[in-house]
Structure 1
Amino acid sequence: MSRWRPPSAASSHLITRSGLLKLKDELDELWRIRRPEVVAAITAAAAEGDRSENAEYIYRKKQLREIDHRVRYLSKRIPDLHAADTLPADLTAIWFGASFTVEDEDGSVHEYRIVGADEIDSSRGWISIDSPFARAALKTRVDEEFEVVTPGGIRRCIVCAIRYEAP
């Protein structure tokens, strides 16, 4: 069995202004605060002697690799992002940054917000602009129906409300 996997689809470069600031703050914290702390801990653990059996040293090296990986990702990703900091011209339709409420066929009501791929938070109902559900919801208005193909079958939703947060 091969370990090769096809490359994943490129995500869009849109992000909300608050999401971009959050990523920049994370990069700054990783680089200025967390990384120096871990490097100091590695130095202290290395001074204890045999590194091959030193659990603290091994753990901290792994932690440093994870921090460096995230720093490298953020350093490459942040310059490519485009913050959508203006409201769309048509506030009656669903566009990037919209929070909207839908009602399913079974009567259940759900709330979603369309955000960038780096801001996804399923517990808050934040979905990626690249997701099939968001793509199906784009351009729909209140009282309009849209459908999206899911693994469980076709899901039909009616838009109940749309709102936008001020940038």
Structure 2
Amino acid sequence: MSRYRPPSPRSTAVITPEGEARLRAELHQLWKIERPQVTREVSDAAKLGDRSENAEYIYGKKRLREIDRRVRFLSKRLESLNVVRNKPDDTQRIYFGAWVRLVDEDDQARLVRLVGPDEFDVEPHYISIDSPLARALLNKAADDDVIVQTPAGEAEYWIAALSYDGPPEA
């Protein structure tokens, strides 16, 4: 049996300035604060003797590998990202960085923001520009209807409002 995994699809290399700041803050936290602290802990654990049965040493080394892996990823990713700082020329259409208020078939309102794949998050309602919903919304305007293919079937949304300066008013 093979361990081959097909490569993951390439994600869009765009990010908002806020997203870039968060990734840079995470990189700084890992590299300048956490890694030196874990390194000291591993060094202290190594001084205690037998490393093969020293849980602090073993788990500290494991944490160092995790930190190093994430630092490498963040460093490479930040180099390849394109930070989108300007609004599009046509602010009446939905593009990257737009806040969009959607209304579904049951009259339930939903607010989303189209962001890069590195910064999507459930709580602030950020969706990746690569997601099916975002792809369906691209280049649409307020009062347009959008049909999105979801795992549960087709979902229809009405675009109630859009804004590039923050969440649109209800």
Quickly name the TM-score band, shorter chain normalised: over 0.9
Please name the residue that 1:147 is paired with.
147
Structure showing the higher helix proportion among its residues: 1
Please name the residue that 1:137 is paired with.
137
Please name the residue that 2:110 is paired with.
110
Please name the residue that 2:91 is paired with.
91
Give the Cα separation in 1 of the matches to 2:25 and 2:125: 23
1:16-165 matches, within 5 Å, as 16-165=16-165
User: TM (normalized to structure 1)?
Assistant: 0.96
Q: CA deviation at 1:93?
A: 1.1
- In the TM superposition, what whole-angstrom CA distance separates every residue of 1:58-117 from its partner, at most 9, and x where no partner exists? 111111111001000011110100000001111111110001110111211111000011
Where 2:95 maps in the other structure, the secondary structure is coil
Give the Cα separation in 1 of the matches to 2:91 and 2:32: 40
Give the Cα separation in 2 of the matches to 1:29 and 1:35: 8
Give the Cα separation in 1 of the matches to 2:165 and 2:55: 48
Q: State how many pairs are aligned.
A: 166
Identity of aligned residues (%): 48
Gaps of 5+ in 1: none
Give the Cα separation in 1 of the matches to 2:83 and 2:21: 9
Give the Cα separation in 2 of the matches to 1:142 and 1:165: 15
Q: CA deviation at 1:165?
A: 2.4
- In the TM superposition, what whole-angstrom CA distance separates every residue of 1:106-157 from its partner, at most 9, and x where no partner exists? 2111110000111010122100001111000111111110111111001110
Where 1:159 maps in the other structure, the secondary structure is strand
Give the Cα separation in 2 of the matches to 1:165 and 1:37: 40
Gaps of 5+ in 2: none
Deviation beyond 4 Å, 4+ runs, structure 1: none
